[in-house]
Amino acid sequence: MRQLFIGGSCTASASDEFIEVVNPATEEIIDRVPAGSPDDVEAAAAAGRRAFPGWADMAASERGKLLGAAAELLKQRSEEIAKTIATDMGAPLGFALKVQTLMPATVLSSYAQLAESHPRESRIGNSMVVKEPIGVVAAITPWNYPLHQIVCKVGPALAAGCTVVLKPSEVAPLAAYALAEIFAEVGLPPGVFNLVSGRGPVIGEAMAAHPEVDMVSFTGSTAAGRRVASLAAESVKRVALELGGKSANIILPDADLALAVKVGVANCFVNAGQTCSAWTRMIVHRDQYDEAVGLAVEAARGYRVGDPFDESTRIGPLVSATQRGRVVRYINRGQEEGARLVAGGTERPHERGYYVEPTVFAAVEPGMAIEQEEIFGPVLSLIPYTTEDIAVQIANGTKYGLAGAVWSGAEDRAVAVARRMRTGQVSINGGRFNPLAPFGGYKQSGVGRELGEQGLEEYLETKAMQL
Strands 9-11 and 4-6: antiparallel
C-alpha to C-alpha distance for 347 and 241, rounded to whole angstroms: 35
Q: How many CB atoms lie within 10 A of CB 338?
A: 10
Check 242, 357, 371, 458 and give the catalytic one.
242
276 noted as active-site residue: yes
Residue 121 a catalytic site member = no
Report CA-CA distances (Å) from 199 to 225, 230, 310, 441. 15, 18, 32, 25
Virtual CA dihedral for 256, 257, 262, 268, nearest 10 degrees? 110
For the four alpha carbons of 35, 38, 44 and 45, in that order, the dihedral sign comes to positive
Q: How far apart are CA 201 and CA 395, in angstroms?
A: 33
- Alpha carbon dihedral 376, 24, 201, 220, in 10-degree steps, equals -30
The residue among 397, 452, 91, 410 whose CA lies nearest residue 247 is 397
Q: 67-85 in b/e burial notation, b at 16+ Cβ within 10 A? A: bbbbbbbbbebbeebbbbb
- Specify whether the CB–CB gap between 415 and 428 falls below 8 A: yes
Active-site pick, 268, 276, 371, 450? 276
CA distance 458 to 237: 12
How many distinct helices (H) and strands (E) make up the chain? 16, 20
Fill in the DSSP letter of residue 438: -
Catalytic residues, by residue number, are 242, 276
